[in-house]
A and B are shown apart, each in its own frame.
Chain A
Amino acid sequence: MKAVSIKGVSKQFKAGVTALQGIDLDVEPGEFVSLIGPSGCGKSTLLRIIGDLTKPTAGTVEVNGKPAERARRDHEYGIVFQDSVLYDWRTVAKNISLPLELLHWSRSKRNARIKEMLELVELTGFESHHPWQLSGGMQQRVSIARALSFSPSLLLMDEPFGALDEMTRERLNAELLGIWQETGSTVVFVTHSIPEAVFLSTRVVVMSARPGRVAGLIDVDLPQPRTSATREEPHFFELVTQVREQLAVAGAPLGETQEPALVEDQA
């Protein structure tokens, strides 16, 4: 059974913009797949379609063999956005426990899991802080802890480190790989950054500009576990170059660099 199975997915926004056209993609359980492409290629939209946060105009998506909506209702995935989307009125611990509350976990079970998650993202001791008392990188780690708190088999990440500085980003990349190996979950990761995609992924999906299509698949055969030394290996650079060249071929036509509206009109 595939972790994610996308068949013939297209998405047209109400304004008539075609964000995605004829996307076919399978993700195996345990894979770390990055979606990369120029602005406006619909990679975030594709991630939202996998999460059933928006509906495709055509095609089907299955997560763990279930239709996307069923999968969402069954809590098959956790999601991390670029903005950490933590609630200011909740402490770090309470933010992490939000999905657990919605799943009606008992208090003691919740507390035990919060402790585990704080250890996983190395934030032990910060449980009673409020989100705005943390740095951007720490906020994003809380967001990851929350997404993983109920042990979903799939983690969807929408440019989670896009707003962070380069050093923090690289550190979190390494941490994320550690978490991925520890939890064995499948990750679908949207990013703008070529080195990030190569460093993290087992497979990189290069997408073309609007309408978004799969322009190429690149297997990343860098050995695990990957460390900061991985970033200095010649093969790492070869893969980065390969992704860059694919992107250049798939590149955005001039004057079309706007991302389409991610949230549909609810009218």
Chain B
Amino acid sequence: MSTIVQPAPRSVGRRVGRTALDWIPALAVFVLGIAAWQGLVAAFHVQEFLLPKPTSIAHAFWAQKSALWSQGIYTFKEALGGYALGCSLGILVALLFAAWRTLSSAFMPYAVAANAIPIIAFAPIMNNWFGLLNPFSKMAIAAVLCFFPVMINTLRGLTSVHPSSIELMRSYAAGRVSLFRRVRIPNALPYMFTGLKVATVLSMIGAIVGEYFGGPTEALGVKILNDSSYGNFTDAWAGIVMASLLGIAFYAVVALAERLTTSWHPSSRAFHTE
């Protein structure tokens, strides 16, 4: 027997440790990028209202950190609500489409059409339907943005099962539910996570776009809009940084969940073989 055998899966701790190590190049690029920004803005005397120095932004961020935090959290909750709603619907619809082909052919064009909605045009309508100050109006926008990538990716995962996998289950006289539970759904997980990761950032964008068309002053999007309209661009940048940080953190949490639940997947194999 040829015995080129790879080691057994590493512990979760080791895997997460590897992830941290993988971040070093990205971190280096970040530091260099910020330094270049700072240097160029200083060297060419770029006006603050055009592009503030990273240090000015950091200063503004630090000065307003508690306000930014509570505004960020307010907006993040809207994003999270929309994310939960849009992603659950996306997964549910993908399951239904995968289970019933006719359902898929009847409704898929409308799912595609829903994805084609220009979200900018859609935002004021949601505000009008649910009320400017009602967080649900922003959740609805985030949900619409999240729905499609999650649905289409999950559906791809559910349906791209090797025919012999299905034959094997058939040979065991396994029913449809069993086929979904034991083959289609596990097979779809890596695909689903691709959609779920894309949706994290989309949900933040959706919530902020919604807030641009009106919302309570405790919302981050409203703060950024107000700062911009009063010419406080450095403060607006600080708000943008907050939004990005939350978006990145959200993405990272979902990416971590993916690593933990689909460590068996080829994309994680780098962690097992060195």
Which A residues are closer than 8 A to B by beta carbons?
48, 51, 53, 72-75, 77-79, 81, 83, 85, 87-90, 98-99, 101-102, 122, 126, 128-130, 132-138, 165, 168, 171, 263
Kindly provide the distance from the CB of A58 to the nearest chain B CB, expressed in whole angstroms: 22
A88 neighbours in B (Cβ, 8 Å): 264-266
Q: Is B2 an interface residue (CB 8 A)?
A: yes
Selected from A77, A126, A168, A171, the residue in CB contact (under 8 A) with B171 is A77
Q: Is B160 an interface residue (CB 8 A)?
A: no
Asked if A168 and B164 sit within 8 Å, CB to CB, the answer is no
Give A164's nearest chain B residue, CB to CB.
B2
When A88-B266, A89-B186, A102-B174 are in contact, do A83 and B1 touch as well, CB less than 8 Å?
no
Kindly provide the distance from the CB of B99 to the nearest chain A CB, expressed in whole angstroms: 14
Sample (29) of A-B pairs whose CB atoms are under 8 Å apart = A51-B171, A53-B167, A72-B171, A75-B172, A83-B162, A85-B162, A85-B164, A85-B168, A87-B165, A87-B182, A87-B183, A88-B264, A88-B266, A89-B186, A89-B187, A89-B189, A89-B262, A101-B182, A102-B178, A126-B5, A128-B9, A132-B6, A132-B266, A133-B5, A133-B6, A133-B8, A135-B1, A136-B2, A168-B1
Chain A interface helix/strand/loop/mixed = loop
Give B185's nearest chain A residue, CB to CB.
A89
Give 9 A-B pairs besides A102-B178, A135-B3 with Cβ atoms closer than 8 angstroms. A75-B173, A77-B171, A78-B171, A88-B264, A126-B5, A128-B9, A133-B5, A133-B8, A168-B2
Asked if B163 and A263 sit within 8 Å, CB to CB, the answer is yes
When A81-B168, A85-B168, A102-B174 are in contact, do A137 and B269 touch as well, CB less than 8 Å?
no
Kindly provide the distance from the CB of B176 to the nearest chain A CB, expressed in whole angstroms: 13
Report the bound CA distance from A81 to B3 in whole Å. Answer: 21
Kindly provide the distance from the CB of A118 to the nearest chain B CB, expressed in whole angstroms: 14
Q: Is B43 an interface residue (CB 8 A)?
A: no
Asked if B186 and A99 sit within 8 Å, CB to CB, the answer is no
Give B186's nearest chain A residue, CB to CB.
A89
Which B residues are closer than 8 A to A by beta carbons?
1-9, 162-165, 167-168, 170-174, 178, 182-183, 186-187, 189, 262, 264-266, 269, 272
Asked if B5 and A134 sit within 8 Å, CB to CB, the answer is yes
Asked if A102 and B167 sit within 8 Å, CB to CB, the answer is no
Selected from A73, A85, A129, A135, the residue in CB contact (under 8 A) with B4 is A135
Selected from A81, A130, A165, the residue in CB contact (under 8 A) with B167 is A81
Asked if B171 and A53 sit within 8 Å, CB to CB, the answer is yes
Number of interchain pairs (Cβ within 8 Å) = 83
Kindly provide the distance from the CB of B43 to the nearest chain A CB, expressed in whole angstroms: 52
Give B166's nearest chain A residue, CB to CB.
A263
Give A134's nearest chain B residue, CB to CB.
B5
Asked if A128 and B8 sit within 8 Å, CB to CB, the answer is yes
Asked if A79 and B178 sit within 8 Å, CB to CB, the answer is no
Max chain A C-beta neighbours (<10 A), residue from B163, B165, B168, B272: B168
Kindly provide the distance from the CB of B28 to the nearest chain A CB, expressed in whole angstroms: 32
A136 neighbours in B (Cβ, 8 Å): 2
List of 5 A-B pairs having minimum Cβ-Cβ separation, nearest first = A133-B6, A89-B186, A89-B264, A73-B173, A79-B171
Selected from A79, A101, A134, A138, the residue in CB contact (under 8 A) with B168 is A79
Max chain A C-beta neighbours (<10 A), residue from B1, B4, B7: B1
A263 neighbours in B (Cβ, 8 Å): 163, 167
Kindly provide the distance from the CB of B181 to the nearest chain A CB, expressed in whole angstroms: 10
Report the bound CA distance from A248 to B4 in whole Å. Answer: 39
Asked if A83 and B8 sit within 8 Å, CB to CB, the answer is no
A138 neighbours in B (Cβ, 8 Å): 1, 3, 5
Give A78's nearest chain B residue, CB to CB.
B171
A122 neighbours in B (Cβ, 8 Å): 1
A134 neighbours in B (Cβ, 8 Å): 5
Report the bound CA distance from A72 to B1 in whole Å. Answer: 33
Asked if A98 and B172 sit within 8 Å, CB to CB, the answer is yes
A79 neighbours in B (Cβ, 8 Å): 167-168, 171
Asked if B171 and A98 sit within 8 Å, CB to CB, the answer is no
A53 neighbours in B (Cβ, 8 Å): 167, 170-171
A132 neighbours in B (Cβ, 8 Å): 6, 266, 269
B5 neighbours in A (Cβ, 8 Å): 126, 129, 133-135, 138
Report the bound CA distance from A168 to B3 in whole Å. Answer: 11
Report the bound CA distance from A72 to B169 in whole Å. Answer: 11
Max chain B C-beta neighbours (<10 A), residue from A75, A87, A165: A87
Report the bound CA distance from A1 to B262 in whole Å. Answer: 47
